[in-house]
Amino acid sequence: MNKLGLHGNVWAAGWSHDECARAIGNTAELGFDLVEAPALDPSLIDVAFTAKQLEKAGIGITFSLGLDAETDLSSGDPEKIRRGEARLGDVVSMTRDLGGTHICGIIYSAFQKYMVPATKEGIAGSVDALRRVAEKAAASDIVLGLEVVNRYETNVLNTAAQGVDMCKRIGAPNVKVHLDVYHMNIEEADMEAAIIDTGDYIGYFHTGDSNRGYMGTGSIDLPRVFKALVRSGYQGPITFESFSSAVVGQPLEGILGIWRNLWEDGYDLARHAKMYTESQLKSAHEAHNCGRKGLPF
Ligand code: MN
């Protein structure tokens, strides 16, 4: 069964003691299996305090982040690659210490709008660096999820097929593709086909909707997405991600363009997302089972 997760930015912009306790406590109270903590700057996360909160709440944790211009693994600049690798290494250590299973997000390039295309040398450098990070992560059974995002947030991975290609080049079994319905809705020709074609390479999944608000309030055909996920045999985490200007601050709101207040009550939003996701998964599993039945006698 897929573990259901909730992105920490539903509750808070950062990870201070108050924010950490609130994010973990509320996520557990709603019955989610894990919280996805934003690790843009891992040095701001108090590992011992977070461990205590997770233990008290009885849930797990994953981390997501995007690198920045100074830590860009795709930059071709040895110094930036060194810093990027060090940052990811810190996140691997932190994830290991907290018993986490997944690190995901834009961990192969900067998380920004690029003004020029990616280069062959830049991608090769990112592949090499991620191979080294993957080795360290594998020692603690941690999966790296390369999040495929829209063209305004990276110039490296915009489609699921590109994600699979990069995983193949890295060639480590713990490097997988992280898909997100919001980004797929912008870039994929056919979301269902993209999910099926990615298949065993899917390692992490973000749900939400086209406006990044309540599930079902945008234009994405979510029943079709969940049916494809079930058909693909994906068993990993499914995490709900949503942003509102009521919570998110800089630098995230600037990079993601979070200008609108789509919701104020994160509790109501997250409770709905959990019900919606469980209902969609149930329907998708039932549809899958019905569809496979043969002759009655
Ligand atoms: Mn996402």
Give me the mean pLDDT over the 240-265 stretch. 90
Q: Which residue out of 36, 147, 153, 188 is catalytically annotated?
A: 147
C-alpha to C-alpha distances, 132 to 74, 86, 136, 172, nearest whole angstrom:
14, 11, 7, 10
Is 278 designated active site? Answer: no
**β pairing state of 175-180 and 34-38:** unpaired
Amino acid at 32: F
pLDDT in tens, 219-231: 999 999 999 999 9
Q: pLDDT at residue 252 above 90? A: no
3-state secondary structure (DSSP) of residue 211: coil
Q: pLDDT at residue 291 above 90? A: no
Q: Return all residues near 175 (Cβ < 8 A) that are at least 6 apart.
A: 130, 134, 143, 144, 146, 167, 203
Structural domain of 39: 4-293
Q: pLDDT at residue 110 above 90? A: yes
Q: Which residue out of 241, 264, 278, 286 is catalytically annotated?
A: 241
How many domains, in total, are found in the chain? Answer: 1
Q: Return all residues near 215 (Cβ < 8 A) that are at least 6 apart.
A: 207, 208, 209, 222, 240, 272, 273, 276, 277
Q: pLDDT at residue 251 above 90? A: no
Distance from residue 291's CA to the centre of ligand 1 (Å): 31
Q: Return all residues near 67 (Cβ < 8 A) that are at least 6 apart.
A: 73, 84, 87, 88, 106, 107, 108, 109, 110, 111
Looking at the whole model, is its pTM more than 0.85? yes
Q: pLDDT at residue 68 above 90? A: yes
For position 249, what pLDDT does the model report? 84
Distance from residue 148's CA to the centre of ligand 1 (Å): 8
Distance from residue 213's CA to the centre of ligand 1 (Å): 13
Is 241 designated active site? Answer: yes
Q: pLDDT at residue 293 above 90? A: no
Distance from residue 182's CA to the centre of ligand 1 (Å): 7
Distance from residue 297's CA to the centre of ligand 1 (Å): 46
3-state secondary structure (DSSP) of residue 293: coil
**β pairing state of 34-38 and 143-147:** unpaired
Distance from residue 180's CA to the centre of ligand 1 (Å): 5
For residue 19, the domain's CATH number is 3.20.20.150
For position 187, what pLDDT does the model report? 98
Give me the mean pLDDT over the 8-27 stretch. 96
pLDDT in tens, 146-189: 999 999 999 999 999 999 999 999 999 999 999 999 999 999 99
Task: Give the residue among 241, 248, 202 at the shortest CA–CA distance from 102.
Answer: 202
pLDDT in tens, 84-102: 999 999 999 999 999 999 9
